[in-house]
Structure 1
Amino acid sequence: MTTPSEAFLWVKALHLIAVICWFAALFYLPRLYVYHAMSEDEISHQRFQIMERKLYRGIMWPAMIATLVSAHFLVSLGDATQHYHQAHWFYLKVALVGVLIIYHLSCGYYRKKLITNAHYKSHKFWRFFNEFPTIILLAVVILVVVKPQF
């Protein structure tokens, strides 16, 4: 039988795997948008549309859902010992995850725009857009590891 602390560690491991998968997709999808915006021929446009759809629906969505579900269980299992609800860093992290969800949804919005017009935005826009999750990742990792006291 699994003890509560063992269950917490298993959920934490699953959470980390889900977060890594989600961020890999968040980093890669806008990079595909860069190449999509730079492409000129119809075959390339179709190829990028397929790649973007499979990445967004097949990896990004499941990874985000797994991240959020496992996070819920981590908070439920760990709140008695970790006291998440009393820590300001935790609420800032949750807010940043909310911003990341909005970014995720905007990737889906832009994906649909690129289907009808591959040159909807320039490849330079997508290069800057691609950097946003990196900033969120840095902030979240610092908050979780350092747990600054505000």
Structure 2
Amino acid sequence: MLWVKAFHIVFIASWFAGLFYLPRIFVNLAMVPEGSTAERDRLLLMARKLLRFTTMIAVPAVLLGAWLWLGYGIGRGQGWMHAKLFVVLLVVGYHHACAVLLRKIEQGRSTRSHVWFRWFNEIPVFMMLAAVLLVVVKPF
């Protein structure tokens, strides 16, 4: 079980690293001057690669978490685990929102400002904080 838990933590940390940085690339994309295609293309390439990597990391993170929950019974029937699972759903939704935003940016349909993306970039910090507090403190 400790091996599963250790790898779960590594994959979660890696997944969140991607979710912390991908919206930062969106900030930079929103600030690209009109006509600067080389800079835009480079940032889009970085964003696509990071999204692909982050998605590949998210899958084992979720599967290992499910293994801990269902296979070992960690948190089964406890309120803190239900809250944490809700946070996990929010993180998956945020990940999906990043993919949708990237598609819109690629198609030139994004109307979001760099300020909006800066605020959007803060969301995973709060989700990670909530998940860690729920797992460590187990408030209910």
TM-score bucket of the superposed structures, by smaller chain: over 0.9
Alignment of 1:113-128 (within 5 A): 113-117=104-108, 120-128=111-119
Q: Is 1:147 the counterpart of 2:138 in the alignment?
A: yes
Partner letter of residue 118 of structure 2? R
Q: Give the structure 2 partner of residue 54 of structure 1.
A: 49
Q: Is 1:105 the counterpart of 2:96 in the alignment?
A: yes
CA distance in 1, matches of 2:111, 2:64: 36
CA distance in 1, matches of 2:103, 2:82: 32
In the comparison of the two structures, how many residue pairs are matched?
A: 138
What is the CA-CA distance between 1:77 and the residue it aligns to? 3.3
Please give the TM-score of this superposition, normalised by the length of structure 1: 0.88
Identify which range, 119-128 or 100-109, moves more after superposition: 119-128
C-alpha offsets along residues 78-110 of structure 1, whole Å, 9 cap, x if unaligned? 21xx4x222100000000110110100000000
Q: Give the structure 2 partner of residue 65 of structure 1.
A: 59
Q: Is 1:88 the counterpart of 2:79 in the alignment?
A: yes
CA RMSD for the aligned pairs? 1.2
Instruction: Mark the runs of 5 or more structure 1 residues left unpaired by the alignment.
Output: 1-7
Which aligned runs of 4 or more in structure 1 are off by greater than 6 angstroms? none
CA distance in 1, matches of 2:49, 2:111: 20
Whose helix fraction is larger, Structure 1's or Structure 2's? 1
Partner letter of residue 87 of structure 1? Q
Q: % of aligned pairs identical?
A: 35
Q: Is 1:26 the counterpart of 2:19 in the alignment?
A: yes
CA distance in 1, matches of 2:124, 2:6: 21
When Rg is computed on C-alpha atoms for both structures, the one with the higher figure is 1
